[in-house]
Amino acid sequence: MKSSMSFSVTKTLSNQLCDAASSVASNWRAFCRSRSENERFAKICIVTEEADESQFWIEMFIQLEYGKKELLPALHAESTEISKVMTSIKDSHYRTKV
């Protein structure tokens, strides 16, 4: 029973992480191709939010002790760095809009 529950939780976490991470990628692409400053700002806000959500799901893997434990610290560090960079870009765009 525990094995099937473990698989179910891992699958759910994996799907959520995949959704958030792919949203980061697709919205970053849209940000790079945007046609106006307002569109760029809207896209970078989504990228920032989805990067934060990706970081959350990685933290859930760590807290629940699911997944490949040897990979999680590096993934968490990378997701933290991506969130910081995206937040910095968003803040810089916000300052130029105001």
CATH code, 39 = 1.20.1440.60
98 vs 72, higher pLDDT: 72
In which region does residue 65 sit, left (phi positive, over 0), alpha (psi from -120 to 50) or beta (all else)? left
Q: Is residue 6 part of a domain?
A: no
Q: Is residue 68 part of a domain?
A: yes
DSSP code for 54: H
Q: Is residue 31 part of a domain?
A: yes
Q: Is residue 5 part of a domain?
A: no
Q: Is residue 48 part of a domain?
A: yes
Tokens of 39: 């569109």
97 vs 37, higher pLDDT: 37
Tokens of 66: 């699911």
- Residue span of the structural domain in which 17 resides: 11-97
Residues 55, 45, 72: CA angle, nearest 5 degrees:
10
Tokens of 85: 């960079």
Q: Is residue 1 part of a domain?
A: no
pLDDT, one tens digit per residue, over 18-69 is: 999 999 999 999 999 999 999 999 999 999 999 999 999 999 999 999 888 9
Tokens of 42: 């809207």
